[in-house]
Amino acid sequence: MSETVPDGEEATARLDLFRYLTADLAAEYRAIMSLFGSTLLADLSAAEVSDGLAERGVALSVEEVTTRCEQLERWGNLVRGIRDARVATVQDYVRSRARYQASKLGVRVHREAEAILAAGDGAREVARELLGATAETLDRIVARMAAATDARPVDAEALSGDVTTVFNNQRLFSDSVRDFYAYVNTVLTRYDLAGEEYQQFKRLLLDYIDLLTADVARHAPVVARRFAALEPVLDDVLAALAALPTLQSADARTERLPGRTREDWEHVRGWYTGADGRSGPETLRMAADQALGQLLANTKRMLASAGTGVSRRADLLKLAAWFDDADADQAHRLYAAAFGAYPARHLLGGPEEPDPRDGATTSWWAATPVEVPLSLRERGDRGARGRTSSVPDPGLDRVRLLAEAQGEADARAAAVGELVAAGRLDGAEVSPAALSLLLGQLTRLLAVHPQLEAAARATDTDLGLTLEAVPDPAATTTLRTPDGDLTVHGLVLEVSAAGAPPAAASSPAAASSAPATSNRAPATPPAAAASSAEAEADADAEADAPTHREPAEVQA
């Protein structure tokens, strides 16, 4: 449609045309505009407007009508009308001279506003049959231009009717599609959609959208090919339309019918071909996929809503109203009862934990889930439902717990056996369970002896092992496991059975001078043997000396 776009000031002034719809006396303003819009070339005075409104059941005096019409004139909905009046008095002359007419934009705004107010909230049918009619009309236009000759020119009037039909069909189809998907969007965003209403909407989407998509997929390529066939003769079509009488003039702005310029044709053609971006059929397919995807998401949400498929919107609104009416103390009790916040607010003891190992320090992620009754989960009802259940036999649970405890004890014993068999731990290959056990014992030893200036032991009588750590800045202890290697710097670690002497040396002096090994000792060189003999002699000489220190020991 060819129309001059108004500038900023004019566009701002045109917004005043809508003010009467939201004014304090909107009903009276609407009645006056309906009276002016009901007749062509309506030129009415205030008295005539008052009489016309009285016939429609709206009682307004002439002075009130005059005030309303003057306000509508300032907003641009009405304009002054001038008519020669032959009256007997000056007062009648002034009154008859104040006549009003509806402006062009005022009539259009009122017509569209009344149409919106009269429209329903339901879905609007899509004019899908217009796609096939558009293809047939384009065929007629191409046939008319092909049959035209110099001796027999094209019938411009019939051609003009076909062109107007094409653009009117396209406008009506586009408007109906927008209204339909706008309705679909409003329904998809509702969280209280359930029951029969949901079933009807599901059938609407699955059946009607599929039918609409199929029609567009069938007719859109045909219409696009017709536009391509019309392109070579489009200039001739525009020339034939320009030869018809029009209202266009050099000193007046007129609003021409659509299809009279090349821009109009390129815009409609682009809707089918996507020349200016995404095509209309592609947009419709994407909208259909999005709507069906949202419907599927809503279906999953309904099925996952407490397993009943019923929306909780009404319950949440009722709960919000209770919170709004409650004072501070009632709100605390209401919150605890609604959301089960008993341990958090210490109002009640909370549900009993079935597993005693889930204590106050247990993380929520690792704790055993609490089974919530169906009546409490869905209706907040703590009353007993159904028949009384039988008392469960604890024998099976006792057997299961004993089996689990025995399995854990066997796993710990196996880990202890690995560490004791390894003896000196440097280079030993152990399981992850044994490594975890060793780390626990080493942590306990270092907690008691944080400096560890001399050899120290940690004995766990329950596990039956003793861990000895000898500080040596040049030593490293490396353990290999399937999960990775552990290297301890500056310590020589050795594990033995609880109550057994260290397997590394036969005397305290030797234990402090040579590292202990759990494997067979290598042959001693002569020089080392001499040094060892001297060390033994010194040890014998100082056997009764008070400077001798045994390794520190930690008892579990």
pLDDT in tens, 400-444: 889 999 999 999 999 999 999 988 989 999 999 999 999 988 998
Higher per-residue pLDDT: 406 or 462: 406
DSSP lists the bridge partners of residue 424 as 494
Which among 349, 419, 334 is positioned nearest to 380, based on CA atoms? 334
b/e per residue 522-545 (b: at least 16 CB within 10 A): eeeeeeeeeeeeebeeebeeeeee
* % of the chain surpassing 90 pLDDT: 17
**Which band of pLDDT confidence, cut at 50, 70 and 90, is reported for residue 154?**
confident
CB 259 within 8 A of CB 238: no
Tokens standing for 346?
A: 């210490």
Which phi and psi (to 5°) does residue 93 adopt? -65, -45
CA distances from 403 to 159, 366, 393, 400, 409 (A): 93, 21, 17, 5, 10
Tokens standing for 360?
A: 């106050």
| pLDDT value of position 344 | 46
CA 33 to chain centre: 45
Handedness of CA 492, 497, 500, 504 (dihedral sign): negative
In this model, does residue 530 exceed pLDDT 70?
A: no
Those residues whose C-beta lies under 8 Å from the C-beta of residue 115, and which sit 6 or more positions away, are none
| pLDDT value of position 513 | 36
In this model, does residue 528 exceed pLDDT 70?
A: no
Q: pLDDT, tens digit, for every residue of 240-270?
A: 888 888 776 655 577 788 888 888 898 898 8
| pLDDT value of position 346 | 42
Long-range contacts, stretch 274-282, CB < 8 angstroms, 24+ apart: 279/220, 280/174, 280/216, 280/220, 281/216, 281/217, 281/220
Which phi and psi (to 5°) does residue 468 adopt? -115, 130
CA 284 to chain centre: 22
Q: pLDDT, tens digit, for every residue of 155-173?
A: 889 999 999 999 999 999 9
**Which band of pLDDT confidence, cut at 50, 70 and 90, is reported for residue 30?**
very high
Euclidean distance between CA atoms 201 and 193, whole angstroms: 9
Supply the DSSP string of 461-504, one letter for each residue: TTTTEEEEEEEEEEEEEEEEETTEEEEEEEEEEEEEETTSPPSS
Residues 502-526 have a mean pLDDT of 38
Tokens standing for 149?
A: 């000759």
* % of the chain surpassing 70 pLDDT: 74
Tokens standing for 41?
A: 């070339």
Q: pLDDT, tens digit, for every residue of 237-246?
A: 998 888 888 7
pTM of the model: 0.49
| pLDDT value of position 516 | 37
CATH architecture for segment(s) 8-118: Orthogonal Bundle (1.10)
DSSP lists the bridge partners of residue 79 as 101
| pLDDT value of position 4 | 53
Task: Provide the 10 A C-beta neighbour count for residue 224.
Answer: 19
Those residues whose C-beta lies under 8 Å from the C-beta of residue 500, and which sit 6 or more positions away, are 466
CA 450 to chain centre: 53
Amino acid at 5: V
Euclidean distance between CA atoms 298 and 188, whole angstroms: 8
Q: What is the mean pLDDT of the chain?
A: 78
Euclidean distance between CA atoms 177 and 351, whole angstroms: 55
Which of these ranges, 107-111, 223-227, 302-306, 406-410, has the smallest mean pLDDT? 302-306
Three-class secondary structure assignment of 233-267: HHHHHHHHHHCCCCCCECCECCCCCCCCCHHHHHH
The domain limits of the chain are 8-118, 136-302, 316-370, 405-516+549-555
Euclidean distance between CA atoms 482 and 161, whole angstroms: 85
In this model, does residue 210 exceed pLDDT 50?
A: yes
Q: pLDDT, tens digit, for every residue of 317-364?
A: 899 999 999 999 999 889 888 877 665 444 444 555 555 566 666 677
Segments in 382-449 forming alpha helices (H): 394-422, 432-448
